[in-house]
Amino acid sequence: MSEPNSAETRSEQTPAANGLLDHMYVFFDDVRHRYGFYALVLIVLVVMPLLTGQYITAIMTNALLYVVLCLGLNIVVGYAGLLDLGYAAFFAVGAYTVGILTQEFGMNFWLTIPCAVVTASIAGVVIGGPTLRLRSDYLAIVTLGFGEIVRFSARNLEITGGASGLAAIPSPSLFGWHIDSTLDFYYIFVLLAVVACIASHRLHNSRLGRAWLYVRHDEDAAEVMGINRVRVKLAAYVIGSIFGAMGGAFFAVNLGAISPESFSFEQSVLVLLAVVLGGMGRIPGVILGAFIVVLMPEFLRELGSLRLLIFAVLLLLIMLFRPTGIWPDRRS
Nearer to another protein, 155 or 210 (CB): 210
Residue type, 54: Q
**Shortest reach from residue 321's CB to another protein, in Å:** 22
Nearer to another protein, 197 or 253 (CB): 197
Nearer to another protein, 58 or 194 (CB): 194
Nearer to another protein, 215 or 294 (CB): 215
**Shortest reach from residue 14's CB to another protein, in Å:** 12
Nearer to another protein, 60 or 196 (CB): 196
**Shortest reach from residue 207's CB to another protein, in Å:** 6
Nearer to another protein, 12 or 302 (CB): 12
Which residues lie near another protein (CB under 8 A)? 1, 3-4, 7-8, 11, 198-199, 202-203, 206-211, 213-214, 217-218, 220-229, 235, 239, 331-332
Nearer to another protein, 203 or 274 (CB): 203
Q: Residue 129 — φ and ψ, nearest 5°?
A: -45, -60
Nearer to another protein, 94 or 281 (CB): 281
**Shortest reach from residue 213's CB to another protein, in Å:** 6
**Shortest reach from residue 68's CB to another protein, in Å:** 14
**Shortest reach from residue 226's CB to another protein, in Å:** 3
**Shortest reach from residue 332's CB to another protein, in Å:** 6
What CA–CA distance (Å, rounded) separates 247 from 193?
9
**Shortest reach from residue 78's CB to another protein, in Å:** 14
User: What's the Cα-to-Cα distance from 228 to each of 157, 212, 231, 291, rounded to whole Å?
Assistant: 37, 11, 5, 35
What CA–CA distance (Å, rounded) separates 112 from 108?
7
